[in-house]
Amino acid sequence: MLAFISHAECMEHDTGMLHPDQPERISAIENQLIMSGLDFVVRRFDAPRVTRAELERVHDAAYLDRIYALDPVREPVEIDGDTVISRGTLRAAERAAGAGVLGVDAIMAGEVHSAFCAVRPPGHHAERGRAMGFCLFDNIAVAAAHALEAHGLSRVAIVDFDVHHGNGTEDIFCAEPRVLFCSSFQHPFYPFTGHASDTANLVDVPLSAGAGGKEFRTGVREHWLPALEAFAPEFLFISAGFDAHVADDMSHLQLTDDDYIWVTQELLALARSVVAHMNVLIG
């Protein structure tokens, strides 16, 4: 069974009317879940609040102190042009990071075989000591670190597809041999990071502006899948961003619905054959 993990407090993160990360993103997922009939075949969970100890596995204590000190009483606080903290933001961010922790626990306990976290704010730009790109806490990194430290796993993999490079997740795990990080992104593009070639535990697939499904699928086949098979992770995390879609006017990549379906099917097939117990969390 698939776990569907979310929380109403994720809707309370107020970024302002013109910001791309709106509460309606959660509503759209919920509505599609109901319209598709899948609402009846998933097991719903409310995301708990992440603990300070869980956050400190991937973020510096001094950074967390600074973020919590910014919690506004009235007017929102801008960290940068993209990243805003409103009165409801920290509660939402705690739920967003806590969702992945719960997903790992539920999968490892055998309650579900996989989990989907519908949360906001997102996380993959949040570095060990820096908030940026809509992100405060690195949700997928918190979940992966929980799998390693709380459940004693020795190898986990994170796959990140997005128009933007997951610089935060890479910053956190770049020197962690227990984590394989595979990412795909437009390059050069915000945040202007990412490697042109593979390194020991980082498998980056930069795509030029205008690239579409052919280039993306080639990168997955030639770089991600062989690396994942060789690494043989015990748990697979998918950091899913859909802003490389051809209909997204903020990007210059040309992926389609079929490309996202294809990569998901490829990763699930790999999980069934390689990953122990098919442990998969999508966030």
Alpha carbons 256 and 190: distance in angstroms, whole number = 21
125 annotated active-site: yes
- Which of 13, 59, 124, 125 is labelled catalytic? 125
- Enzyme catalytic residues: 125
